[in-house]
Structure 1
């Protein structure tokens, strides 16, 4: 499947250095398979991650995101709300549709999804899929809460999709 970048006309000009602040340059530009943010409470880990993922979703029209926490009942008050904050901060709220009951977020220009799941039952994640593009990125919020490596690996195996874009990295 040929994967193109999203149309440029839907993305506003944003100074990400101004939005994020200092201290996350290596994280922001990393092309490693895994990226880990460490820091104390209030150190911008979640805010930097959610802005990075929002930008990347808008940049790559075939990309979709899975957001994971140990318990599904903690997602709406944390990561889902972080995405609401990010699209407001980036001034692109009009480009996103928020489904409160799922929870799920759709990038309306392309139909890409941001899905939210808990690891309460990791087998529910194994068959997860999207309508548009591929599920290619996962954000493990509070990853230290995941007590079993097998649960983590189940998610990683579920998001590996075929891709052929030279500038793509997971």
Structure 2
């Protein structure tokens, strides 16, 4: 079922709000030499201070990259609205349900097609990435938390025994 004009207008304004937030003024970070300079001049420097600065810098860069990618998706959705193709799955041509667009206004596919695509990407991932994802799932599984029978604990035990 195609979106009503009211639904489209609501989603349009939601996308504009997202665009405004994502393209808003970002805090400029000092150069790394300026940040570290203060620590480098002192006698009581601690390696953790330097590590904290590097971690903070990496976190800021990651957040900016995620914001940039999200802004691209929002702009793409706004362009699709102009073209009259908004709310249509790019893979199947089916209408994307309003509830999905309300939750993810920049969605390009239906939930089912998105899940299929993510499954395909995961299947094509190198074996070490698949193993990592399995371990993370294992660690976050409420049934295996605090149990030493999980796959992750078994791997850690093997590595510990080999040393």
Q: Could you state the TM-score of these two structures normalised by the residue count of structure 2?
A: 0.26
The structure with more helix, counted as a fraction of residues: 2
Structure number with bigger Rg: 2
Which structure's relative contact order is higher, taking Cα pairs within 8 Å and 6+ residues apart? 1
The structure with more strand, counted as a fraction of residues: 1
